[in-house]
Amino acid sequence: MSLTALNPATGVVVQSYPSLDAVGIEQKLARSAEAFRTWRDVPLAERAQLLKSAASLLRKDVQRHAQLMAVEMGKPLSAGRAEVEKSARALDYCADTGAAALADRPVDLGGPRAFVTHLPLGAVLAVMPWNFPYWQVIRFAAPNLMAGNVGLLKHASNVPGCGYALEQLFRDAGFPEGVFQNLPVGSHAVAAILRDSRVAAVTLTGSTPAGISVASTAGEVLKKCVLELGGSDPFIVLPSADIPLAARTAAIARTINSGQSCIAAKRFIVHADVYAEFADLFVRHMQALKVGNPLAQDTEVGPLATAAIRDEVEAQVEDARSHGARVLCGGHRLPGPGFFYAPTVLADLPQSARAYREEVFGPVALLHRVESTDAALQLANDSEFGLGSSVWTRDEAEAARFVRGLEAGMTFVNALVASDPRLPFGGVKTSGHGRELGTDGFYEFVNRKTVVVSAPPPTDRTE
Ligand code: NAP
């Protein structure tokens, strides 16, 4: 068996890599267990230094890493460079803040000494997606390696080179052998690996069906899991908003990563009072986007990562059209080799269309007109997903109402939803559970052990 990277801009094979057989998996698990026995006791300051080294290695080689993402999954170079820089920032953030976050926390009992100490769990299996092939991995690895866990990366099958590059990064940074390993395997191998007693926990970033599958196995063997899953984020525009700014940001928010981001805005819910103005500007910005070769410096939207994703987006748009949605722009694949799809805006989407409920993982915006702010909130929450949300208003009381009322893990007011190493990231409903990043990210896979130390009674020397 092998894992093959195919350039989505050309449809040409980049490289094939052998996948691990049972013996190879066993060797990796054994190495992981052995590495944990010593890594868990390495001082926090030393771990932080190694994370810093990984950050500086990333920064030295930004272009090479961005090019690898471009050829394996079609990310435009400028976006790839930004992803590498951001990954370096996350490594630095965990190095700088980990010691304080993971320090013992004293609890005053007024008598015996008590504290909470943070102990690592062991090997964390990370099942990762292709859409941010560096960022997603660093986002799990940095806090966990800092906490003393070891990492086993099962990367998406279409970005095998990224998996190897990340393993090499940690090796070059000086992490001991086995602390971070790449497991080149297909998804069929995940359940057995997760059941192995040398794996302590699992984190999955990916689709909701993959999350259900991994969570089911984790449940069977009672292992902790963190799930970062799909989303269909609302972008709500209310009458007092800065409409030109909202429309410009909306086009970026929808087409970020060529539309293949969990936190890309997908449903644009616009108040009737400003609908016409917003729709006109939004469509113009979507049409102006430069779609093309991800290796070209000025490309804003690249291809979709695989032919299957492009076909699925196309099927969702055709289904919407057949149910009566209007295509305001785009609505078709682009000619030539590669898996390109035109930036698209669909209006008047009926509830019967698949896209009303499903995540659309491509540059396709769903534009909804609502008659009131109540209707906007109701429509925003009429989704099984609950990842990010963005609301545009100059009215503070209205903003506060949406902040409380939106069923989402993240709400950004007058801004597009974006991840940041300093902020916790995650969702509710079928978008998953658990949090990565921020201080919260250190605690998902540690044993927060309660310790109480009573002074021994004085020795009785009269006997
Ligand atoms: P995917 O098909 O679910 O794959 C993600 C990872 O899960 C891959 O490594 C994949 O392996 C593995 N996988 C798939 N099915 C599995 C199963 N039944 N058991 C175990 N592992 C399984 O998702 P994707 O297409 O790569 O990524 C897109 C999805 O990820 C979107 O829904 C997006 O919204 C979501 N996402 C969420 C976040 C977040 O933070 N919430 C961030 C990014 C992406 P193979 O590649 O070998 O199949």
Cα separation values, 235 from 1, 228, 399, Å: 43, 20, 13
CB proximity list for 199: less than 8 A, separation 6 or greater: 29, 122, 123, 124, 125, 152, 193, 223
pLDDT digits (tens, 9 = 90+) for 13-35: 999 999 999 999 999 999 999 99
CA 161, CA 182: separation in Å to the nearest integer?
10
pLDDT tens digits along 77-130: 999 999 999 999 999 999 999 999 999 999 999 999 999 999 999 999 999 999
What tens digit of pLDDT does each residue of 380-407 get? 999 999 999 999 999 999 999 999 999 9
Percent of the chain scoring above 90 in pLDDT:
97
Give the ligand 1 atom nearest the CA of 419: 40
Contact status, residue 145 vs residue 51, Cβ threshold 8 Å:
yes
Average pLDDT, the chain: 97
Active site residue 228: yes
Name, in order, each residue with C-beta under 8 angstroms of 254's C-beta and a sequence gap of 6 or more.
Answer: 235, 264, 265, 266, 268, 286, 343, 363, 364, 365
Half-sphere exposure of 112 (CA within 13 A, CB side): 10
pLDDT number for residue 404 = 98
| C-alpha 209 – ligand 1 centre gap (Å) | 8
Q: Give me ligand 1 centre to Cα 102, in Å.
A: 30
Alpha-carbon span 287 to 247, nearest angstrom? 12
Q: Which residues pair with 432 in a beta bridge?
A: 228
Ligand 1 in contact with 217 (CB < 6 A)?
Answer: no
Is there an atom of ligand 1 within 6 Å of 359 CB? yes
Nearest to 291 by CA among 9, 11, 63, 81: 9
pLDDT digits 0-9 by tens, 42-61: 999 999 999 999 999 999 99
The pair of three-digit structure tokens given for residue 90, joined into one six-digit string: 């996350």
Q: Which of 228, 300, 314, 407 is catalytic?
A: 228
The tally of CA atoms less than 13 A away on the side-chain side of residue 401 is 14
Atom of ligand 1 minimally distant from the CA of 425: 40
The response to whether residue 189 sits with its C-beta less than 6 Å from ligand 1 reads no
Indicate whether 461 pLDDT > 70. no
Residue with tokens 């295509």: 327
Closest atom of ligand 1 to 432 CA is 41
Given the structure tokens 């804003």, which residue do they identify? 300
pLDDT tens digits along 221-246: 999 999 999 999 999 999 999 999 99
Mind listing the pLDDT tens digit for each residue in 318-369? Answer: 999 999 999 999 999 999 899 999 999 999 999 999 999 999 999 999 999 9
Catalytic residue among 167, 262, 358, 398: 262
Ligand 1 atom closest to residue 130's alpha carbon, by position in its atom list: 26
Cβ neighbors of 375 (< 8 A, separation 6 or more) are none
Q: What are the structure tokens assigned to 161, written together?
A: 């080179």
Residue 203 in contact with ligand 1 by CB distance below 6 A: no
Nearest CA to ligand 1 atom 37: 229
153 Cβ inside 6 Å of ligand 1: no
Q: Which of 6, 187, 359, 431 to mutate to test the pocket of ligand 1 (most atoms within 8 A of CB)?
A: 187
Query: What is d(CA 131, CA 215) in angstroms, rounded to the nearest whole number?
Result: 21
Does ligand 1 come within 6 angstroms of the Cβ of 205? yes
CB of residue 207 inside a 6 A radius of ligand 1: yes
Bridge partners of residue 329, in order along the sequence = 345
The confidence score (pLDDT) of residue 462 equals 61
130: CA distance to ligand 1 center in Å?
8
CA distance linking residue 347 with residue 341, whole number of Å: 18
Site to probe by mutation for ligand 1, drawn from 75, 83, 86, 131 as the one with most ligand atoms within 8 Å of Cβ, is 131
**Ligand 1 centroid – CA 211 distance (Å):** 8
CA of 20 to the centre of ligand 1 (A): 19
Atom of ligand 1 nearest to the CA of 228: 41
User: Does the C-beta of 135 come closer than 6 Å to ligand 1?
Assistant: no
Residue nearest to atom 30 of ligand 1 (CA): 206
pLDDT at 1: 84
Q: Best substitution site from 262, 339, 419, 436 to test ligand 1's pocket, by max atoms within 8 Å of Cβ? A: 262
Q: Is the per-residue pLDDT at 177 higher than 90?
A: yes
Instruction: State pLDDT tens for residues 180-236.
Output: 999 999 999 999 999 999 999 999 999 999 999 999 999 999 999 999 999 999 999
- Rounded to two decimals, the pTM is 0.97
Written as one letter, the residue type at 391 is V
Site to probe by mutation for ligand 1, drawn from 72, 127, 435 as the one with most ligand atoms within 8 Å of Cβ, is 127
Instruction: Give the pLDDT of residue 311.
Output: 98
Three-class SS string for the chain?
CEEEEEECCCCEEEEEEECCCHHHHHHHHHHHHHHHHHHCCCCHHHHHHHHHHHHHHHHHCHHHHHHHHHHHHCCCHHHHHHHHHHHHHHHHHHHHHHHHHHCCEEEECCCCEEEEEEEECCEEEEECCCCCCCHHHHHHHHHHHHCCCEEEEECCCCCHHHHHHHHHHHHHHCCCCCCEEECCCCHHHHHHHHHCCCEEEEEEECCHHHHHHHHHHHHHCCCEEEEECCCCEEEEECCCCCHHHHHHHHHHHHHHHHHCCCCCEEEEEEEHHHHHHHHHHHHHHHHHCCECCCCCCCCCECCCCCHHHHHHHHHHHHHHHHCCCEEEECCCECCCCCCCECCEEEECCCCCCHHHHCCCCCCEEEEEEECCHHHHHHHHHCCCEECCCEEECCCHHHHHHHHHHCCCCCCEECCCCCCCCCCCECCEECCEECCECCCHHHCCCEEEEEEEECCCCCCCCCC
- Known active-site residue 300: no
426 within ligand 1 shell (Cβ under 6 A): no
pLDDT at 463 over 70: no
Which residue, judged by its Cα, is nearest atom 9 of ligand 1? Answer: 156
155 alpha-carbon distance from chain centroid? 13
